[in-house]
Structure 1
Amino acid sequence: MEQDEEKIRTIVKIANQTYTVIGKESSDHVREASELVDAKMKQLRESNPYLTSTQLAVLAALNISNEYVSLKRQQENETKDEDGTT
């Protein structure tokens, strides 16, 4: 049986809830990601104060995913341009 890589445990706070995240990424990486989610949820809460925490979390995930897909497409297009591919 293969030995798993050592997991890193990081405690973060998102929308006033504390979470323990266990994974391979550094604590700094996990904190940066959690701060992004927390900021997005706060932003959405300000413009939509009646949404539940679950609704805020889904909207934050959708917003962040949209940003990710846009950046991914932009990077793919830049790679195609550099390669001279159309």
Structure 2
Amino acid sequence: MADKEKTRVAVGIYGQTYTIVGTETSNHVRHVASLVDERMREISKRNPYLDSTKIAVLTAVNSVHDYLKLEETVQQLEEEVKKLKG
């Protein structure tokens, strides 16, 4: 990654503007930001009494939960593939 050029992308998430610096394409960064914004707005609709910090934490918790479930699924599928090959 040290040889990849870094890009700066301004994105809007839940009414705030953030500048994201990284090596991914600007389209990728914008897509990620839009998914975070969408999830925060969904949580806010279901819990209108929560402040933005709590909405952000719940968004992070839900996102990590989803990631871990997907990681578990990938691991199970990899084990199935090994069994089929073996």
Using the TM superposition, give the Cα deviation of residue 6 of structure 1 relative to its aligned residue in structure 2, in angstroms: 2.0
Aligned residues: 83
Partners of 2:81 and 2:3 in 1: how far apart? 39
Using the TM superposition, give the Cα deviation of residue 84 of structure 1 relative to its aligned residue in structure 2, in angstroms: 1.1
- Residue 18 in 1 paired to residue 27 in 2? no
Using the TM superposition, give the Cα deviation of residue 4 of structure 1 relative to its aligned residue in structure 2, in angstroms: 5.7
Does the residue aligned with 2:33 lie in a helix, a strand or coil? helix
Q: CA RMSD in A?
A: 1.5
Partners of 1:13 and 1:81 in 2: how far apart? 41
Where structure 2 has 5 or more consecutive residues not aligned to the other structure, the ranges are none
Residues 45-73 of structure 1, C-alpha deviation per residue, up to 9 Å, x if partnerless?
A: 00100111100000001111111110110
Residues 15-58 of structure 1, C-alpha deviation per residue, up to 9 Å, x if partnerless?
A: 00000001111101111111111000000000100111100000
Partners of 2:63 and 2:5 in 1: how far apart? 28
1:37 corresponds to: 36
Instruction: Report sequence identity in percent.
Output: 40
1:9 corresponds to: 8
- TM-score (normalised: structure 1): 0.91
- TM-score (normalised: structure 2): 0.91
Alignment of 1:7-86 (within 5 A): 7-84=6-83
Query: What amino acid is aligned across from residue 47 of structure 1 in structure 2?
Result: R
Where structure 1 has 5 or more consecutive residues not aligned to the other structure, the ranges are none
